[in-house]
C-alpha cells in the first residue's frame, strides 16, 4: 500500500473524506524533496488544477500536521512563514541544517540527541516528547565558493549596524 492510500485510510478512520483536492495536495507533497511553504505547495499543485484554493491547501496541511504526516519548521532570518516537511512520516526523528547562503536544507539523523535529552531530564526532571534541532551555517559547496572568491557580498545575515537593516529600514533614506 502506498503512502497516499495509507494516509487516506487514516483519514477515513476518523470520518474524513478523500477528495480530489486532498489527493492532489498529497501527490504534490510526495514529489517534494524540499521544505516548501504553503504558497509554494499551492503553486505546484495548481499547475494541475488551476481552481484549487489556497485555503484548501492550508486546511489540508493543518490536517496532515495533526496526523503527523507533515512536520512544520520555522527558519531564522526568513519572513515569518511556516515551511512544511513531507519527510516526517518516513523518518520521524530527523533534524535540519540550513545554509545561510543558498538556503539548501540538509536533513540528518541525530541519535546522540537522546543523550542530550537524558542529560536534561537528569538535571531538570520532566519528560521530553519532541525536539527540534536546527543548524545554521554554510554548506560544503558555499563554503568552497567563499574560500575561493572571498566573502560574498550578498550575505543576508551581515550585521550592518542599528539604523540600517538589510531589508527593513527605519524609514529614512540613506
Partner DNA sequence: CCCATTATTGCAAATTATTTGCAATTAGTG
Partner DNA sequence: CACTAATTGCAAATAATTTGCAATAATGGG
Site residues for DNA per CB under 7 A = 11-12, 15-22, 37-39, 49, 51-56, 58-60, 62, 79-82, 162-163, 165, 167-172, 174
C-alpha cell at 167: 531589508
When asked if residue 87 is in the footprint of a copy of itself (CB under 8 A), the reply is: no
Q: What's the CA gap between 89 and 14, in Å, rounded?
A: 18
When asked if residue 63 is in the footprint of a copy of itself (CB under 8 A), the reply is: yes
Residue with smaller CB distance to DNA, 130 or 174 = 174
C-alpha cell at 170: 527605519
Q: What is 63-79 written as a DSSP string?
A: HHHHTTSSEEE--TTS-
**Residue 145: which of a copy of itself, DNA, none does it interact with, CB under 5 to 8 A by kind?**
none
**Residue 51: which of a copy of itself, DNA, none does it interact with, CB under 5 to 8 A by kind?**
DNA
Judge whether 58 and 38 are in contact, CB under 8 Å.
yes
Tell me the closest approach of the beta carbon of residue 64 to DNA, in angstroms. 12
Residue with smaller CB distance to a copy of itself, 43 or 63 = 63
Neighbours of 94 (CB within 10 A): 16
Over the window 123 to 142, marking each residue x when it contacts a copy of itself by CB under 8 A and - when it does not, the resulting string is xxxxxxxxxxxxxxxxxx-x
Residue with smaller CB distance to DNA, 49 or 152 = 49
The H-or-E segment that residue 98 falls in is strand 95-99
Alpha-carbon Rg of the chain, whole angstroms? 20
Of 19, 49, 93, 120, the residue at the interface with a copy of itself (CB under 8 A) is 120
Judge whether 89 and 130 are in contact, CB under 8 Å.
no
Residue with smaller CB distance to a copy of itself, 47 or 160 = 160
Amino acid at each position: 500500500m502506498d503512502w497516499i492510500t495509507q494516509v487516506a485510510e487514516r483519514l477515513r478512520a476518523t470520518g474524513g473524506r478523500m477528495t480530489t483536492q486532498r489527493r492532489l495536495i498529497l501527490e504534490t507533497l510526495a514529489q517534494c524533496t524540499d521544505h516548501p511553504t504553503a504558497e509554494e505547495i499551492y503553486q505546484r499543485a495548481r499547475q494541475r488544477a488551476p481552481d484549487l484554493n489556497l485555503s484548501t491547501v492550508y486546511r489540508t496541511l493543518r490536517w496532515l500536521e495533526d496526523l503527523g504526516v507533515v512536520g512544520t519548521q520555522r527558519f531564522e532570518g526568513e519572513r515569518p512563514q511556516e515551511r512544511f516537511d513531507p519527510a516526517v512520516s518516513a523518518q520521524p526523528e530527523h533534524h535540519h541544517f540550513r545554509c545561510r547562503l543558498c538556503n539548501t536544507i540538509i536533513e540528518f539523523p541525530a541519535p546522540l540527541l537522546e543523550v542530550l535529552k537524558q542529560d536534561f531530564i537528569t538535571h531538570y526532571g520532566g519528560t521530553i516528547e519532541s525536539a527540534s534541532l536546527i543548524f545554521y551555517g554554510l554548506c560544503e559547496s558555499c563554503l568552497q565558493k567563499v574560500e575561493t572568491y572571498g566573502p560574498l557580498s550578498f550575505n543576508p545575515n551581515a550585521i550592518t549596524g542599528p539604523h540600517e537593516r538589510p531589508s527593513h529600514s527605519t524609514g529614512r533614506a540613506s
